[in-house]
């Protein structure tokens, strides 16, 4: 049968197969392999460094187990799009999440994720966010006032803590309909407990041996306390939601929690109380850290660029006029340059520098035979720092994202950007995250100039399932 020369050959259907043993690999030790070279907090950086010398696709070993690593965009997209078929998330993720009671939309596998995804996707759809805008506007203004107090006092601000409080307040209000207001309160218990849970998920997922199932260290006891505290908070919110639904039967759900409870109560829904809890906690965890860290990396880049700050200030004044924060949902359509700042920060400092997958069956990907159970690590940053995908890729240029839907501006490759994933499990929270980031960055540029309060090199990349700044202290000055 003739082959259509215009039709691309799928990357998993090439004719020449290579085995994992045929791929380049870093030198290692007998028995240990490359274990001694891996620091979990710098895992992404080590894999990126190996990729610079070994090429975009290589392997490494921990003991006898071989891992496939690739930054090849076509290979990565093929794997991401073939879920939950040939690939899944790393198989250690789901049991770790399940034993913590947080096996929700992010970690659940197989067909069980589909009804959960449909619910969350509907709740976070763009048209739903317009009704949530007044709440987001109010929380953004709280952040502005917090920063104004710091500027007036001439004190440094812990930007990472401020941004985390902002995202906790936003996500908790969206999910629970409950304003926890950590921005204006000294009480940050929920924020602190969330800060314990997510790094421990990463630690346990990557542990060589699940020791905590047999004995516990102090950090495991701290995790148990944090899980109990967050569960108690969630159960209190569930109780409030149940009471409101009882008093107003038939009313449309007012928040994501009420929507989940309504679905759970439908006959034959297959949705349990544990599913409700797992998903609201998953949303709280995911909504808190990824957006806060992306904003922190954006501010880290802006603090060293006074010319760009001045340009952004003019753009904010043009968009907002005398207003100090975006006042209407329509205002956010004018903030394209600030969306560009957010995406540029995610391109250069991705909070998801690694996607962890695993082969469900023996299969082929990019001409490579992959045995069942092989971990496949997708590196997301190298392609976005490649001049073949983004012109002048090492430069922070937010304007490269403005009008990107009109064409391929400045060598802009949309395929190379995978911070929200790809395929069926594309991130359902991307619209909310983008809206939050535009709001904060426009408010920052409209009201303040910023500079580093300490040597910017003290801000290091730390990997704990997501990539966060180790610290970020900034000095803000009010602008008219």
Contact 479, 448 (CB under 8 A): yes
In a domain, 346, yes or no: yes
CA 197 to CA 368: how far, in whole Å? 36
Tell me the percentage of the chain whose pLDDT exceeds 70.
Answer: 93
24 inside domain? no
**Look-up of token digits 């090849």:** 72
Strand 157-158 versus strand 473-478 pairing type: antiparallel
Tell me which H or E stretch contains 383. Answer: helix 381-384
Q: Please write the tens of the pLDDT for every residue from 379-395.
A: 999 999 999 999 999 99
Is the confidence at residue 176, as pLDDT, over 50?
yes
Q: Does the pLDDT value for residue 317 go beyond 90? A: yes
Mean pLDDT to the nearest integer, 339-352: 96
Instruction: Report pLDDT for 406.
Output: 43
Instruction: Return d(Cα 227, Cα 239) in angstroms, integer.
Output: 18
Averaged pLDDT score across all residues of the chain: 88
Q: What is the number of residues in the chain? A: 480
Q: Which has the minimum average pLDDT: 102-106, 148-152, 319-323, 473-477? A: 102-106
Measured distance CA(14)–CA(159) in Å, rounded: 48
Is 85 within the bounds of a domain? Answer: yes
**Does residue 149 lie in a domain region?**
yes
Q: Report the pLDDT value the prediction gives residue 123, as an integer from 0 to 100.
A: 65
CA triple 478-338-420, angle to 5 deg: 130
Give residue 246's domain range.
31-478
78 closest CA partner among 454, 428, 422, 464:
422
- 197's tokens: 């849970």
Q: Output the pTM of the full model.
A: 0.89
Q: How many CB atoms lie within 10 A of CB 298?
A: 26
pLDDT on residue 223: 94
61 within a domain of the structure (yes/no): yes
12 part of a folded domain: no
Alpha-carbon separation of residue 381 from 3, 20, 70, 126 (angstroms) = 35, 23, 11, 27
Report whether 386 contacts 35 (CB < 8 A). Answer: no
What are the φ and ψ backbone dihedral angles of 368, each rounded to 5 degrees? -115, 130
Neighbours of 328 (CB within 10 A): 12
pLDDT grade for 12, boundaries at 50, 70 and 90: very low
Question: Across the strands, what pairs with 231?
Answer: none
> Of 229, 139, 156, 155, which Cα lies nearest the Cα of 192?
229
Between CA 164 and CA 183 the distance in angstroms is 9
54 CB neighbour count, 10 Å cutoff: 17
Q: How many domains does the chain have?
A: 1
Pair of tokens at residue 183: 């921005």
Averaged pLDDT for residues 336-365: 95
CB contact set of 411 (below 8 Å; sequence gap of 6+): 387, 388, 389, 390, 391
Residue in 168, 34, 43 with CA at minimum distance from that of residue 464: 43
188 or 142, greater pLDDT:
142
- What average pLDDT score do residues 152-160 get? 96
b/e burial code for range 373-407 (CB count within 10 A of at least 16 → b): ebbbbbbbbbbbebeebbeebeebbbebbeebeee
Q: Rounded distance, CA 230 to CA 192, Å? A: 10
Cα(422)–Cα(77) distance, rounded to whole angstroms? 7
pLDDT digits (tens, 9 = 90+) for 99-152: 988 888 777 777 777 777 776 776 677 777 888 899 999 999 999 999 999 999
Could you give the C-alpha distances from 108 to 99, 124, 271, in angstroms and in order?
Answer: 12, 19, 13
CATH of the domain at 113: 1.10.630.10
The answer to whether position 211 is within a domain reads yes
Q: What is the mean pLDDT of residues 327-353?
A: 95
- Does residue 360 belong to any structural domain of this protein? yes
| Residue 354: pLDDT over 90 | yes
Q: Give the tens place of pLDDT for each residue, 264-288.
A: 888 877 777 888 888 888 887 777 7
Identify the pLDDT of residue 10: 45
- Neighbouring residues of 100: CB distance < 8 A, sequence distance ≥ 6: 197, 201, 223, 227
Q: What's the DSSP call for residue 163? A: H
**Which range has the worst mean pLDDT, 187-201, 284-298, 414-428?**
187-201
Q: b vs e for 40-49, b when ≥16 Cβ sit within 10 Å of the residue's Cβ?
A: bbbbbbbbbe
Q: Is 11's pLDDT higher than 60? A: no
């Amino acid at each position: 049968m003739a082959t259509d020369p215009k039709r691309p050959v799928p990357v998993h259907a090439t004719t020449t197969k290579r085995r994992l043993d045929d791929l380049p690999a870093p030198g290692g030790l007998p028995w240990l392999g490359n274990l001694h070279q891996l620091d979990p907090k710098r895992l992404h950086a080590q894999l990126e460094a190996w990729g610079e010398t070994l090429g975009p696709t290589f392997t490494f070993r921990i003991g006898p187990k071989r891992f496939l690593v690739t930054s090849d965009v076509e290979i990565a997209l093929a794997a991401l799009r073939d879920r939950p078929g040939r690939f899944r998330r790393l198989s250690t993720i789901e049991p770790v999440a399940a034993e913590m009671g947080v096996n929700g939309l992010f970690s659940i596998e197989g067909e069980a994720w589909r009804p959960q995804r449909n619910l969350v996707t509907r709740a976070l759809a763009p048209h739903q966010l317009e009704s949530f805008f007044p709440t987001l506007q109010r929380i953004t203004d709280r952040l502005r006032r917090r920063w104004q107090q710091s500027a007036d006092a001439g004190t440094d601000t812990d930007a990472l803590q401020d941004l985390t409080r902002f995202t906790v307040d936003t996500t908790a209000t969206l999910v629970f309909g409950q304003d926890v207001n950590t921005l204006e309160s000294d009480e940050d218990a929920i924020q602190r407990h969330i800060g314990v849970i997510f790094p421990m998920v990463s630690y346990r997922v990557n542990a060589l041996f699940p020791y905590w199932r047999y004995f516990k260290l102090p950090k495991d006891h701290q995790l148990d306390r944090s899980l109990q505290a967050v569960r108690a908070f969630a159960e209190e919110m569930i109780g409030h939601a149940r009471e409101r639904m009882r008093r107003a039967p038939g009313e449309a759900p007012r928040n994501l929690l009420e929507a989940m409870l309504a679905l759970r109560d439908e006959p034959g829904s297959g949705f349990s109380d544990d599913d409700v809890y797992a998903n609201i906690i998953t949303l709280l965890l995911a909504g808190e850290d990824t957006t806060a860290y992306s904003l922190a990396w954006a501010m880290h880049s802006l603090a060293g660029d006074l010319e760009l700050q001045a340009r952004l200030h003019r753009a904010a004044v043009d968009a907002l006029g005398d207003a100090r924060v975006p006042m209407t949902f329509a205002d956010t359509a004018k903030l394209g340059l600030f969306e560009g700042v957010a995406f540029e920060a995610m391109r250069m400092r991705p909070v998801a520098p690694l996607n962890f997958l695993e082969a469900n069956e023996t299969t082929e990907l990019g001409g490579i035979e992959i045995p069942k159970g092989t971990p496949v690590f997708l590196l997301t940053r190298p392609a976005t720092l490649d001049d073949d995908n983004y012109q002048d890729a090492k430069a922070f240029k937010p304007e490269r994202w403005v009008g990107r839907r009109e064409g391929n501006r400045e060598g802009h490759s949309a395929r190379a950007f995978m911070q929200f994933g790809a395929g069926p499990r594309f991130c359902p929270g991307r619209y909310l995250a983008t809206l939050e980031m535009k709001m904060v960055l426009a408010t920052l540029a409209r009201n303040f100039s910023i500079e580093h309060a300490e040597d910017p090199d003290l801000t290091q990349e730390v990997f704990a399932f997501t990539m966060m700044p180790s610290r970020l202290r900034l000095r803000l000055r009010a602008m008219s």
